[in-house]
């Protein structure tokens, strides 16, 4: 069973702090990893992609991938109220040519 | 550039009726994906196309669902006959196939079957 697991939250973080979102996946054949942000009533929006072990930074966002431990995380520095949304982790299993989304973590930034 | 375009944005229909959802992918993208999102099940991949060819339809719930992509700029998802449990938000997404597979989502169609 190929699964992508996320804590559903809500995760409450004070404004200005670092928000840490985690995702684990079960299939070792996974090679491409994505983080999407979804505001209530809107469509998912791609914010980060990562393909190799280590960190990838883009502005206030850092994605971290550890294939040996089968987890991927997203850090949001200097959290803003506008970061309040649901964050979806997605994993593309190249071997099966299939993408699997986690159910998402609701993030709430406290002003 | 225009993003992924979906129509209609909202659809309310009665059980047993046929429903057709439409999608225009981003120009130049050659992969297209149909998803369904509900509170209970989250975001589920229904089917995806690469170069207009269906690659994986294992997520299509049953024979009442069908999808076509007659050309690179248009796809439809049809439900016939519709049932109340089909009520959900249906998203279309597109990408340029290759190693990245970064997908861009349309605004979605909110379907309500009464």
| Percent of chain B predicted with pLDDT > 90 | 79
Instruction: Give the pLDDT of residue B97.
Output: 77
Q: Look at residue B22 and tell me whether its pLDDT is greater than 80.
A: yes
pLDDT tens profile B45-91: 999 999 999 988 888 988 999 999 999 999 999 999 999 999 999 99
Q: Do A44 and B102 touch (CB under 8 A)?
A: no
Instruction: Give the pLDDT of residue A33.
Output: 94
Using CB atoms, pick whichever of B33, B45, B100 lies closest to residue A49.
B100
Comparing CA positions, the residue from B52, B53, B86, B79 lying closest to residue B65 is: B79
Is the peptide bond between B5 and the residue preceding it cis, with omega within 30 degrees of 0?
A: no
pLDDT tens profile A31-42: 899 999 999 999
Instruction: Give the pLDDT of residue B99.
Output: 46
Q: What are the structure tokens assigned to B33, written together? A: 């994906």
Q: Give SS3 for B85.
A: helix
Distance, in Å, from the CA atom of A91 to the CA atom of A3, rounded to the nearest integer, reads 9
Q: List, for chain A, all residue ranges whose pLDDT scores fall below the cut of 50.
A: none
Best mutation target, B58, B99, B102, to test chain A (most A CBs within 10 A): B102
Distance, in Å, from the CA atom of B91 to the CA atom of B22, rounded to the nearest integer, reads 10
CA angle A46, A101, B3 (to 5 degrees): 35
């Amino acid at each position: 069973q190929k699964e992508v697991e996320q804590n559903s939250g809500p995760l409450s973080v004070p404004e200005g702090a670092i928000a840490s979102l985690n995702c684990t996946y079960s299939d070792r054949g996974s090679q491409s990893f994505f983080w999407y942000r979804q505001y209530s009533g809107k469509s998912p929006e791609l914010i980060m992609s990562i393909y190799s072990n280590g960190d990838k930074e883009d502005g206030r966002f850092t994605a971290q991938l550890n294939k040996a431990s089968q987890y991927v995380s997203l850090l949001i520095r200097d959290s803003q109220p506008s970061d309040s949304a649901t964050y979806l982790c997605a994993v593309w299993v190249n071997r099966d040519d299939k993408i699997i989304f986690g159910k998402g973590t609701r993030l709430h930034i406290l002003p | 550039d225009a993003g992924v375009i979906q129509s209609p944005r909202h659809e309310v229909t009665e059980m047993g009726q046929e429903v057709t959802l439409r999608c225009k992918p981003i120009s130049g993208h050659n992969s297209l994906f149909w998803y369904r999102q509900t509170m209970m099940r989250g975001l589920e991949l229904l089917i995806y196309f690469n170069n207009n060819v269906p690659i994986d339809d294992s997520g299509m719930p049953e024979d009442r669902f069908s999808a076509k992509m007659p050309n690179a700029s248009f796809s439809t998802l049809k439900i016939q006959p519709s049932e109340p449990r089909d009520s959900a938000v249906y998203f279309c997404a597109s990408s340029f196939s290759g190693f990245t597979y970064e997908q861009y989502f349309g605004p979605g169609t909110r379907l309500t079957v009464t």
